[in-house]
Structure 1
Amino acid sequence: MNLSYWEIKSWLTNIDYTIVGSGIVGLNCALQLKNRFPKAKILILERGMLPQGASTKNAGFACFGSLSELIGDLKTHSQEVVFKLVKKRITGLHLLRTTLGDDHINFKQLGGYELFSKTDGLFEQCQSQQFEINTLLKPLFKEDVFSFKPNTFGFENCHEHLGFNQFEGQIDTGKMMEALTNLVLSKGIKILNNVLVEQFSEGNTSVNIKTNQFECSTNNLLIATNGFASHLGIAEVKPARAQVLITKPIDNLNIKGTFHLEEGYYYFRNIDNRILLGGGRNLDFKGEETTDLNQTKRIQSKLEDLLKTTILPHTPFDIDQRWSGIMGVGGQKQPIVKQVSNTVFCGVRLGGMGVAIGSLIGKELADLIP
Structure 2
Amino acid sequence: MELSYWELKNWFTNVDYTIVGSGIVGLHTALRLRERFPEAKILVLEKGMLPQGASTKNAGFACFGSISEIMEDLKTHTEEDVVQLIEKRWQGLQLLRKRLGDNVIDFRPHGGYELFLKEDESGFNECISKIPFINEVLKPIFKAEVFTKEIDRFGFENIQEYLIFNPFEAQIDTGNMMQELLKQAVAANILILNQQTVTSYTDAGNHVEVILNDFSFNSKKLLFATNGFAESLTNGAVRPARAQVLITKPIEGLDIKGTFHLDRGYYYFRNIGNRILLGGGRNLDFAAENTSEFGQTKIIQNKLENLLINVILPHQNFQIEHWWSGIMGIGNSKNPIVTQLSENVFCGVRLGGMGVAIGSLIGTELADLI
- Fold similarity call, TM over 0.5: yes
Paired residue type of 1:8:
L
Q: Which residue does 2:119 correspond to in 1?
A: 119
TM-score (norm. length: structure 1): 0.99
* Residue 286 of structure 1, CA deviation: 1.2
Paired residue type of 1:361:
I
Matched, 1:83 2:86: no
Counterparts of 2:197 and 2:29, CA distance in 1 = 19
* Residue 21 of structure 1, CA deviation: 0.2
Paired residue type of 1:222:
L
TM-score (norm. length: structure 2): 0.99
Counterparts of 2:98 and 2:351, CA distance in 1 = 20
Q: Which residue does 2:143 correspond to in 1?
A: 142
Paired residue type of 2:318:
F
Q: Which residue does 1:100 correspond to in 2?
A: 100
* Residue 272 of structure 1, CA deviation: 2.7
Q: Which residue does 2:279 correspond to in 1?
A: 278
* Residue 204 of structure 1, CA deviation: 2.1
Counterparts of 1:12 and 1:272, CA distance in 2 = 44
Q: Which residue does 2:195 correspond to in 1?
A: 194
Q: Which residue does 1:3 correspond to in 2?
A: 3
Question: In the comparison of the two structures, how many residue pairs are matched?
Answer: 369
- Could you list the runs of 5+ residues in structure 2 that have no partner in the other structure? none
Counterparts of 1:145 and 1:99, CA distance in 2 = 25
Counterparts of 2:218 and 2:310, CA distance in 1 = 55
Q: Which residue does 1:48 correspond to in 2?
A: 48
Paired residue type of 1:97:
R
Counterparts of 2:338 and 2:192, CA distance in 1 = 22
* Residue 235 of structure 1, CA deviation: 2.6
2:205 touches 2:344 (CA, 8 Å); kept in 1?
no
Deviations for 1:47-79, whole angstroms, at most 9, x for unmatched residues?
A: 000000000000000000001100111111111
Q: Which residue does 2:292 correspond to in 1?
A: 291
2:62 touches 2:172 (CA, 8 Å); kept in 1?
yes
Counterparts of 1:270 and 1:247, CA distance in 2 = 10
Give the alignment's Cα RMSD to 1 decimal: 0.8
1:248-327 to 2 correspondence within 5 Å?
Answer: 248-327=249-328
1:195 touches 1:213 (CA, 8 Å); kept in 2?
no
Q: Which residue does 1:133 correspond to in 2?
A: 134
Paired residue type of 2:281:
G
Distance 1:42 1:234, change over 3 A: farther
Distance 1:104 1:234, change over 3 A: farther
Query: What percent identity do the matched residue pairs reach?
Result: 62
Matched, 1:72 2:72: yes
1:199 touches 1:232 (CA, 8 Å); kept in 2?
no
Matched, 1:226 2:227: yes
- Could you list the runs of 5+ residues in structure 1 that have no partner in the other structure? none
Paired residue type of 1:57:
K
Q: Which runs of 4+ in 1 moved over 3 A?
A: 231-234
User: What SS does the aligned partner of 1:340 have?
Assistant: strand
Paired residue type of 1:235:
G
Q: Which residue does 1:348 correspond to in 2?
A: 349
